[in-house]
Chains A and B, each alone.
Chain A
Amino acid sequence: MFNPLRSAGGEDSAARLRVLADEELMQLLYRGNAAAFEVIYDRHADAAFSLAYRMCGQRSLAEDVVQEAFLSLWRSGARYDRNRGSVRTWTLGIVHNRAIDALRRRTVRERGIVDGEGIEERLPARERTELEFARKDEAREIRDALEQLPDEQSRVIELAYFGGLTHVQIASMLDIPVGTIKGRMRLGLAKMRMALGDPAEVLP
């Protein structure tokens, strides 16, 4: 029986690694297994780049964010705690934090982010697996839940999460009291939770 912890590497073991669950790969990654890391990268790089691109609105910056995020994952794999979510969620959380860092280093004018739109460059996703179809269904549900919110609530959520803006910056941008911004965020997320039936986790 294949024991990934004893695997010596090579194409054969690389193929075997690809059948392992993310959580098993993380154990190998923590031991410095570059092949295990590569599988993790291949599984989640598209989602990571998609999120980074959505947030940064610029291909070169999104590339930097993804690169930093995955190197951070490689170097800090020991911090992954499966009890706190899937590897995908953890990875995308790192991407989100890195993108926020990148965005906050820039001025609002430099960002070119004034609302939830503005990304023109689109690259076709190549993966069309069964899991990908399931993810597309999930994506549709989440987009629907977001779109069904009143504009004032979806706008502050998008500006915060995808725009990397603080509630103070959003309040200033929209000329609305900070307390109102917080309230809209809270209400919007609560409505989405109800609409989505309390999503416990994104798909792996």
Chain B
Amino acid sequence: MSERDQTPRGHDCGEDVAPYVLGALTEAEHDAFLAHLETCAVCRDEVTALQSVVSALPAAVPQLSAPAEIKHRVMATVHGEAALRGTGEPAPGRRRMPRATLPAWRGLLAPAGVLAAVVLAVVLLTSGGSGGGTRVIRAEVTVPHAYVSVSLSGGHAELNLTRMPQSPPDHVYEVWVKRSGAPQPTDALFTVSSAGSATVGVPGSVAGVRQILVTAEPTGGSKVPTSTPVIVADLS
């Protein structure tokens, strides 16, 4: 066995290369190993070598024809989003589909007595704020260790989330905008990656928008926020 860094868990890091490339590490192990790769060239080389094998594995399965209905559904969504983009909506994109959920939110939310966790980013935008350049503002986050920033450019806003918990079971994050009165829902529903990160474009122009809210709502989204904010970004 070669001389290598030790993982935070204290065993030979090379042992984690194979389960890493196979996608077989637990979420916590995966995150730790990613961090380890930043500093271990030996592991990076082995990952590259074994990844080439793993990338070839899909070719080994019996080849089937994808049912036509999948394409119909996918293209209907794609054409709809392309049309939105053509009318000045933000790049397709940044909206994401519901994916895996973890119970991490339960502990966070239990004290607040709510069922659905909410991320709230409050962005106060001044009129005429669509000038050149990009403004980045940090949001206040009540979730420990999470970080949320808001990038403002060309009259559009983009949320960047890191180290966020997964949305609760059967919930997704939803973006809201507030000009005056109650927050209005958008069609931006998303989840965060296994590492807790996400980049989400706020649909439409944010001209006149005073607040942008991101909540975790039941899958499919809600018409009104259903829980207490945990992140607030004040851009004033």
Contacts and interface: CB of A to CB of B under 8 A. Distances in A.
A160 B19 contact: yes
Interface stretch (A10-18, A19-27, A60-68, A107-115): A60-68
Contacts of B85: 32
Interface in B13-49: 14-19, 21-26, 49
A12 B7 CA distance: 56
Nearest to A84: B51
A166 B49 CA distance: 21
A50 B67 CA distance: 11
Nearest to A136: B63
Interface in A158-199: 160-162, 164-168, 170, 179, 181-183, 185-186, 188-190, 192-193, 196, 198-199
Interface of B is mostly: helix
Contacts, number: 193
B50 interface: yes
Given A67-B74, A70-B74, A75 B93 contact: yes
Interface of A is mostly: helix
Size bracket of the A interface: 35 or more
B22 to A, nearest CB: 4
B86 interface: yes
B160 to A, nearest CB: 14
A50 B61 contact: yes
A148 interface: no
Given A74-B92, A122-B64, A193-B49, A161 B56 contact: no
B64 A101 contact: no
Interface residues of B, number: 54
Interface in B149-173: none
A142 B57 contact: yes
Given A167-B19, A186-B15, A202 B74 contact: no
Contacts of A124: 64-65
Contact of A185 (B22, B26, B73, B74): B22
Interface stretch (B75-83, B124-132, B133-141, B209-217): B75-83
Nearest to B191: A101
Contact of A49 (B52, B70, B78, B86): B70
Contacts of B65: 46, 49, 123-126
A94 to B, nearest CB: 11
Contact of A182 (B18, B50, B70): B18
Contacts of A5: none
A32 B91 contact: yes
Contacts of B63: 46-47, 50, 125, 135-136, 139
Interface string A25-65: 00000101110011001100111111101100001000100
B53 interface: yes
A72 to B, nearest CB: 7
Give 4 closest A-B pairs by Cβ, nearest first. Answer: A185-B18, A49-B66, A160-B24, A186-B18
9 contacts: A49-B66, A50-B58, A63-B69, A74-B74, A85-B55, A136-B63, A160-B23, A186-B15, A199-B53
